[in-house]
Amino acid sequence: MLRSLVGLKLLGNNLTGSIPPSTGNLVNLTTLYLYDNQLSGSIPQEVGMLRSIPQEVGMLRSLIDLELSGNNLTGSIPTSIGNFCNLTTLYLYDNQLSGLIP
């Protein structure tokens, strides 16, 4: 497991399929860039469960950048994104997402 991983930048590739729920296991992640790929499906609930202190379920205290634009993501934006305490950048454009930004 990549527990000490702080940045994951897979932008501009031809990645297909959905974002794996196991992304939620990257508890120290501060940067997640998956934009400009061919990802589809909804954003998995587990991404909203990322946290830097495992006892604090649902609190993503480390993530500052989340860029998922330029994919084919569908569904609603998870309400758990509203729990990201340090998030300063949220790019979700060029997807098929619906609903409100929490």
27: in domain: yes
Rounded Cα distance, 65 and 12, in Å = 16
2: in domain: no
Q: What is the pTM of this model?
A: 0.56
Q: Which of 91, 78, 72, 79 is nearest to 31 (CA)?
A: 91
30: in domain: yes
Domain enclosing residue 51, as ranges? 7-98
10-residue mean pLDDT series, the chain (102 residues): 80 89 81 87 70 36 77 76 78 83 74
1: in domain: no
Backbone angles phi, psi at 59, to 5 degrees: -110, 115
Q: What is the pLDDT of residue 60?
A: 54
Residue type for 49, please? M
Domain containing residue 50: CATH number: 3.80.10.10
90: in domain: yes
75: in domain: yes
| Number of domains the chain contains | 1
Q: What is the pLDDT of residue 16?
A: 92
Q: What is the pLDDT of residue 48?
A: 62
Residues 6+ apart with CB under 8 A from 50: 23, 24, 26, 27, 29, 60, 62, 63
